[in-house]
Amino acid sequence: MSEDFLIRAATVHDVGLILSLIRELAAYEKLLHEVTATEDDLRHNLFGQQAIAEAVLAYEADQAVGFALFFANFSTFLGKPGLYLEDLYVKSDYRGKGYGKKLLTHVAHLAHSRGCGRLDWSVLDWNAPSIKFYQSLGAKPMSEWTGFRLTGAALQKLSHLSV
C-alpha cells in the first residue's frame, strides 16, 4: 500500500465516481445488468435532505482505488443501532494490498464511534477470496439465516395489498 493512501468521506461532487465504482463492482459480480442507479439517485440518497446512506472513498495519491457504501440499521435484540455495509469494492489492480482492510476498518471505526452494536454485510457465496478475507478479520458467516428480497413487480404487488 502506498504512503499516499487516504480514506475520505464522499461528497456530492463524487456521485459520478461512486456510480462508476458501483458499475465496476456489478461487473465483477456478474450483475451489471441489474444496475439502474443514476447520478441523481445517488445525489438524492447519499447527499439529499434526507440522506439514507453514506460512502467513503479510498485513494492512492490522486487515484480512487475503492469505496464502501453503508447505512444505519437497528438490532432489536441488542437494542442498539448498527451499520449495514452494502458494498465494499477495491479495483482489481489494487486488491491484496490492504485497501479493502483499510476501508472495512474505517467503517468498523465509524460503527464503534456511533455506539453501534454490530456491522453486517452479505457476500456472494461464490466469492471465495472475499469470504476468506472477511473470516481472516474475525467475521462469522450467518449460515443459519436465509436472505430474502422483494423488488420490482413483487414489491409493488405486495405494497398494494390491503392491510
Q: Which residues are catalytic?
A: 134
Query: Per 3-state DSSP, what percentage of the chain is helix, strand, and coil (rounded to 5)?
Result: 40, 25, 35
Alpha helices, DSSP H only, in the chain?
Answer: 15-28, 39-47, 99-113, 128-136, 152-159
Q: Which three cell numbers stand for residue 25?
A: 463492482
| Cα separation, 67 vs 52, whole angstroms | 17
